[in-house]
Amino acid sequence: MRLTFVSPFPFKARVAPPQEPPNRWCCAIYNKTSKPITKGARAPSRLSKRWIEYHGSRNWEGLLDPLDDVLRGEIIRYGSFVEAAYQSFDFDPSSPTYAACRYAKNMVLERCSTVHGCGYWVTKNLHATSSIPLPRWIERMPRWMQVQSSWIGYVAVCNDKEEISRLGRRDIVIALRGTATCLEWLENLRATLTHCSGDSFPTKQNDEPMVEAGVLSLYTSGTNTCPSLQQLLRHEVLKILKLYKDEPLSLTITGHSLGASLAVIAAYDIKTTINHSPHLSVISFGGPRVANQSFRHHLEQQGVKVLRIVNSDDLITKVPGFFVEDHDGVIHEQNVCVAHLTKWIQKRVKDSRQVYANIGHELRLSSRDSLHLNSINVATCHDLKTYLDLVNGFVSSTCPFRAGARRMLKKATNIPTIK
């Protein structure tokens, strides 16, 4: 069924008073005539002085509605790193390098237009491995069905002095793409919750943090020739922290879809296993639910800050789990509260391992407010390009799209569609 979009906003958008000159990342990702980074550009003083606030130290209080222009620029900037992960991944099943990175490590950011010249340097390629056992007959099937480990993103460090000055610290970025391979799709179907305690995730308390089984598998599984994503990240983060131990540092994990789920688990793992880790924030786009309330409680105790960019029309952000446990501990089925049920029934619901919790602070957007989309469907609502369009144009909940966004979108570059 094809839906035709009719704007529910006949009024003229109220333009929010200017907060400071537009962040260059906002325009760079869409404007053909501009570059993602302009060497020698004047650094926005607010970001360098208040970067920790823009990365969640106060839970983004007063910055989301209306959306602060500096925060808007930061969100789009980190979304551009995820876009680079997509652009670098080889999606062609007939290619001999299918599911690998198309570029050499030192060229990942240079070959991607959205982050070219950004001042960051890739230090590590990252791979995720599925633990789903492959039957013997799979050897007779096409190679794309047999790929067990695939390139899923990278670690990058800011090495440009001017950019470090603009940011107010040296930033470490972990960027993770969404689902792409056959086995990754199959892992997504393993939607029951499983315990994440043990040697891989040591737990200091007696409660039971649980995460989605398929995502945990992709994070912790490895082979004889390919270490797990967990091992790769632990080793690389420790190496970078030791190298820059005398400098102010931040660690930002960003991802889209499956990458958003992996970002949350990686943040929990790093904070649990690495002592004296720097300020850690997660900026996720279109992420599904990934864990239960106990996991969220542990994450919050560790000081991890999660900003979850959500499109209300994106079905992926509403799954998995038939029930959702909110911050007040009340279980809801979709939007219907079942708190009035007996404790025995609520226990049976939890035992089903389908009670998920929404993690982090939300910036909630809607495809219906976009000036770019003529129709709404599952694919476009989940597309990373749609998310970046919505962030770029959003003003506030009472004025969803800014007046200048239409002119900017007419000059938009064609970012490849994310599958």
**Would you please indicate which residues are annotated as catalytic (active-site) residues?**
257, 314, 382
CA distance 308 to 133: 33
Q: Provide the residue type at 332 as one letter.
A: H
- Close Cβ partners of 173 (under 8 Å, ≥ 6 residues apart): 78, 81, 120, 155, 156, 157, 158, 252, 253, 254
Q: What dihedral angle (degrees, nearest 10) is formed by the CA atoms of 228, 234, 235, 237?
A: 130
- The token pair at 335 is 């939007």
Q: How many CB atoms lie within 10 A of CB 160?
A: 17
Orientation of helix 45-54 relative to helix 69-88, angle to 10°: 80
CA distance 373 to 292: 34
Kindly write down the DSSP assignment for every residue of 175-228, as one continuous string. Answer: EE----SHHHHHHHT--SEEE--SSSS--SSSS--EEEHHHHHHHH---SSS--
Q: Provide the residue type at 17 as one letter.
A: P
Kindly write down the DSSP assignment for every residue of 312-342, as one continuous string. Answer: TT-GGGG-S-SEEE-TTS-EEETTEE-TTS-
The neighbouring-strand residues paired with 120 are 158
**Closest to 71 (Cα-Cα) out of 59, 82, 81, 83:** 59
CA distance readout (Å), 319 to 212, 333, 357: 11, 12, 11
CA distance 259 to 218: 11
